[in-house]
Amino acid sequence: MTAAFGARLAAAMTAHGPLCVGIDPHPSLLEAWGLPDDAQGLRRFALTVLEAVGGQVAAVKPQAAFFERHGSAGVAVLEEVVAAGRDTGTLVIVDAKRGDIGSTMGAYADAFLRDGSPLAGDALTVSPYLGFGSLDPAVDLALSSGRGLFVLCLTSNKEGHEVQHARTQDGTTVAALVAARAGALNAGADPMGSIGLVVGATVGDAASRTGVDLAAVNGPLLAPGVGAQGAGPHELAQVFGSARRQVLASSSRGVLVAGPSVAALRAAARQASDEAAAALS
Ligand SMILES: O=c1ccn([C@@H]2O[C@H](COP(=O)(O)O)[C@@H](O)[C@H]2O)c(=O)[nH]1
């Protein structure tokens, strides 16, 4: 039986530091790397990133959108990248941000979380904005298969507050509700549960302003926004306070601009990981 995702991630962060490298084959990066904007270019790009950081960082996070924009050929590359990432021993978080009514969510869960599915990594990003309970099929399958979820809570984009800071009739914010539901699923887990949140490293004091108790989530906190979106060590320390040990900082372009040299990519990832570790210690 596979160990729980939360325990596997905690061990990976202890071994390699608290960094997730995003695999985001932007057209502009493909061009900068001298690669074509097609499925072969994607494949070369993603496998180069894995050669550089596989076994060196806690996790990688392929962004599904950049593969899907190439249709079935791109999705086939994503499948290859998920398998190759897992073969390196590095945890693979598929950033597909799925969310739908429960019956359809069951199909997404089968695609991204079921043993044997070619798109199933170690964890999946999901959206709770059809109601947290709509995620139940994904929660059930993640927990029974040793996988994890990262539920969008306080996202790194400037528009996120329109929905996430909104208050329900009793004054609770939407973000606080999402965080409390994740925390309930992680209750009693040691060292931490498998139902994480996405909390951008760019959100400043939003957690305290929205009443989100990050430490009480007792699960991993995926923190995009490091690097290209402007957040760095100072912001990581500021945003996460006493929940620092749960944080997996995520950087895509901030590392990827160092390519296509494998050595330069590896060095950029090591520097980002060391900086995150220092900020979160
Ligand atoms: O709140 C969120 C949730 C997800 N993301 C994703 O992370 C990466 C960020 O890329 P950078 O190049 O490091 O800016 C990207 O795949 C986003 O879709 C996010 O940025 N914010």
Q: Quote the pLDDT of residue 138.
A: 98
pLDDT in tens, 96-136: 999 999 999 999 999 999 999 999 999 999 999 999 999 99
Q: Quote the pLDDT of residue 6.
A: 98
pLDDT > 90 fraction of the chain, expressed in percent and rounded:
99
CA-154 nearest atom, ligand 1: 1
Q: Is 198 in the pocket of ligand 1 (CB under 6 A)?
A: yes
- Backbone phi, psi, residue 120, to 5°: -85, 110
Q: Is 251 in the pocket of ligand 1 (CB under 6 A)?
A: yes
Establish how many alpha carbons lie within 13 A of residue 224's alpha carbon, considering only the half-sphere containing its beta carbon: 23
Mean pLDDT for all residues in the chain:
97
Q: Give mean pLDDT, residues 248-259.
A: 98
| Catalytic residue status for 61 | no
Is residue 252 scored above 90 in pLDDT?
Answer: yes
Q: Quote the pLDDT of residue 88.
A: 96
What's the distance, Cα to Cα, between the start and end of the chain in Å?
32
CA of 228 to the centre of ligand 1 (A): 9
Q: Quote the pLDDT of residue 2.
A: 83
Q: Quote the pLDDT of residue 1.
A: 62
Question: What residue spans of 174-261 are helical by DSSP H?
Answer: 174-186, 206-210, 233-240, 253-256
CA-252 nearest atom, ligand 1: 13
Give 278's pLDDT tier (boundaries 50, 70, 90): very high
Domain boundaries, the chain: 5-280
Crossing angle of the two packed helices 262-280 and 233-240, in degrees rounded to 10: 40
Residue nearest to atom 3 of ligand 1 (CA): 155
Q: Is 228 in the pocket of ligand 1 (CB under 6 A)?
A: yes
Q: Quote the ipTM score.
A: 0.99
**Could you say which architecture CATH assigns to the domain 5-280?**
Alpha-Beta Barrel (3.20)
Q: Give mean pLDDT, residues 170-194.
A: 98
Q: Quote the pLDDT of residue 238.
A: 95
